[in-house]
Amino acid sequence: MAGLLVSATPAQAHAVLLFASPAIEGAVPTAPKEISLVFDEPVQAASARTVRITSGSGRSVPVGSPSRSEGGRQLIVPVRGPLSAGVYTVLWKATAQDGDVMGGNYRFAVGSAAADLSAGMSGSQQQVSGAATTAVLRWLLFAAFSLVLGGLVGERVAARHGITAPGPWVRAGLVSGLTAALGLMVLIAGGGSLIEGIFTPSGSALWGGRAGILAIVEVAAWLVAGMTMSVAGRRWQPAAWSALSVGVVVEGLRAHPAAASDVWGPVLITAHLAAAAVWVGALVHLVRVGVTRRWDRAFRAALATYARLALALVGAVLLTGTLSGLLLLSPSDLLVTDFGKVLAVKLALVAAVCGLALAARRRMARAAPGSLVRAEALGLAAALAATAWLSVTQPPQDENAGLPFAPPATGAAITVGGRADQIGIAATASAGQVVLRLTAPTTDLERPDSRTYKASLRLADAAGRTRTVALRGCGEGCFYAPMTWKKGTNLLTVRAAAEGWGGGKETLKMTWPVRPDSTQLTRTVRAMRSVKAFTLHEQVASDTTGTATAPTRLELSGDRFVDSEPYAQGRATQTSRSTDAEGRTVLALGYPGERLALELTLDDRGRVVRETLVAPNHIIHRSFTYRNTSEEGGD
């Protein structure tokens, strides 16, 4: 079982902002029409004020209501107000799967203000909104589970030895648990603020996502437990246990390890919390019994019975705690990350408590271990506090971990393509990043998502510098890398491989910056349709390492040719215009959804004289010769 747990897919417990558009610390030439935030897990808009934009002078820019896409991982907020040239700060809030409201900020520039980004803060700042309040409420919640569940167990242990008083602090635990559960629910409704949650709550934040619904279920569980215990008394104790069990399961579903493993994470935390609650609560009750009875012989007999139960509980706590910890961090992260340091404090407290418990058990044979048992109970309360703070601390992030999906383009983008052996390559470049998508042929007996792809990348920029670029996976055949583009021609050397299909190397030419020009494409389509007849030489290949096939000669009209092209309507998803060494206009066209990339070289009339079309399963080179010698444009 430990092997299954350790090999679970890594994930972050708190939602982490991966990408933004406009890009974090990036610049756009014109004002954006929307703000896009992409997270590593599904999130819910914290409130109507999920995103706020402020200018350098502190002026707020009006924005619209947020919407979600990409399986809930992307928040999109329309920009309603004008953005003149300058530096702007985006302040955002989003409710994560575990119920914590994450908040942060980053900057971007519009127009000529990009240079101003070099001063002041950089990158994206993010944290749990209302972290201290959340931690206190979680500690109160964990303590409430202990007082009720553990208190009832402690009462039964004492009753076996004829001890019936004092009763456990069940009523105090039920009130505390309901208060804490309500507080956590209000925090979600208020986007991390108790004040906003009370006076201006967001219903969509509660009902529109998993975290809010789990919070409502937990409040209902505490209400049912409180009502059954208050109205029906001990006769309905099993119903109260069932309701509180639902609350424990809810905590397991929204705890950190649940983000790392959908199955084992909740199971481990549910077992961990249940065992810890009984361990702590039963001990607290027995301490009260010991004080009341002055640590007499009957009490010491009850404490000995509890000691045997506690041994099993401690084993369960240590085992589930260790395995759930392995889901979130490696031992090397224990003392070098914030999460690891808090976890180390918790482990130290648990170890100290175990030591005190052992000393108390040894002392029982000779005298009442009053001071040791009290210290043990206080140590467990401190361990619960460490657990509560751990719940609002971000686990360490693996910077090389695969992404759940390809990041959206930031600003103007262009796709170029090529082939490495039988593997198609489409590279989409935008500000600060490149996304590679690889495609290998599919047989009738094989699913396209059943193979493993590998890729490496080297960049030779316009200044002549060459470096290896680290890639991160972003899905089936998808790889992402942050990129600093240099003005001019950037050469991307891609080594690609796919299981069962070999691989090879291809160099792609990326001209930067992207210069969108849809009007030129419209003119080119019009110019091509005006051609009555021309000669087309076409060479198609699906394997770049094999023997080249002879080109096919075709006699076509402009209309017939254009109607067969993806740009027949004069539109492309992406366009970029540049000039080649001979001064001719070159249009790069990208259709990233279809993994299509085209490069059109134009003559002075806007007609195509050369075309390269790269599709997932083939590459086509075309050369055009026009009939009138004075108008000839081909080679």
The per-residue DSSP string of 26-80 comes to EEESS--SEEEEEESS--EE-STTSEEEEETT-PEEPB---EEEGGGTEEEEEB-
Question: CA 87, 91, 96: angle at the middle one, nearest 5?
Answer: 145
C-alpha pair distances (Å), 126 with each of 93, 162, 298, 613:
9, 55, 55, 43
Q: What pLDDT is attached to residue 435?
A: 93
CA 184 to chain centre: 22
Residue 348: CB partners within 8 Å, gap ≥ 6?
none
CA 233 to chain centre: 46
Q: What pLDDT is attached to residue 263?
A: 85
How far is it, in rounded angstroms, from Cα 284 to Cα 157? 13
pLDDT 10s digits, 11-30 = 345 678 888 888 777 777 78
| Helix (H) or strand (E) segment spanning residue 107 | strand 101-110
DSSP 122: -
> Quick one: which of 71, 78, 80 has its CA closest to 42?
71
- What is the identity of the amino acid at 158? A
> Quick one: which of 498, 490, 345 has its CA closest to 420?
498
Q: Is residue 435 a contact partner of residue 428, using CB atoms and an 8 Å limit? A: yes
Sheet holding 453-460, edge to edge: 466-469, 453-460, 488-498, 502-512
Residue 493 neighbours by CB distance under 10 Å: 16
User: What does residue 399 show for φ and ψ, rounded to 5 degrees?
Assistant: -65, -15
Residue 392: CB partners within 8 Å, gap ≥ 6?
100, 128, 131, 134, 135, 138
Residue 510: CB partners within 8 Å, gap ≥ 6?
414, 416, 427, 429, 434, 485, 489, 490, 491, 492
Whole-number CA gyration radius for the chain: 32
Q: What pLDDT is attached to residue 584?
A: 93
> Quick one: which of 165, 383, 381 has its CA closest to 291?
165
Residues of the chain falling short of pLDDT 70 = 1-14, 47-48, 70, 112-125, 231-236, 360-361, 363-370, 398-400, 443-450, 544-548, 628-635
The partner residues of 132 in beta bridges, in order of sequence, read none
User: What does residue 474 show for φ and ψ, rounded to 5 degrees?
Assistant: -140, 30
Strands 596-602 and 608-615, bridge-based pairing: antiparallel
C-alpha pair distances (Å), 541 with each of 361, 402, 420, 496, 552:
80, 32, 11, 17, 12
Q: What are the helix (H) ranges across 112-169?
A: 131-145, 151-159
- Which structure tokens are listed for 52? 């706020």
CA torsion angle 15 19 21 25 (round to 10): 110
The partner residues of 19 in beta bridges, in order of sequence, read 38
DSSP 236: G
How far is it, in rounded angstroms, from Cα 384 to Cα 69? 37
Q: What pLDDT is attached to residue 475?
A: 85
How far is it, in rounded angstroms, from Cα 169 to Cα 546? 80
Q: Is residue 604 a contact partner of residue 597, using CB atoms and an 8 Å limit? A: no
How far is it, in rounded angstroms, from Cα 337 to Cα 399? 14
> Quick one: which of 468, 472, 346, 336 has its CA closest to 10?
472
Total-model pTM = 0.71
Give 264's Cβ-side CA count (13 Å radius): 22
Q: Is residue 614 a contact partner of residue 629, using CB atoms and an 8 Å limit? A: no
pLDDT 10s digits, 402-423 = 777 787 787 788 999 988 888 8
Strands 618-626 and 534-541, bridge-based pairing: antiparallel
How far is it, in rounded angstroms, from Cα 66 to Cα 78? 7
Q: Is residue 512 a contact partner of residue 488, using CB atoms and an 8 Å limit? A: yes
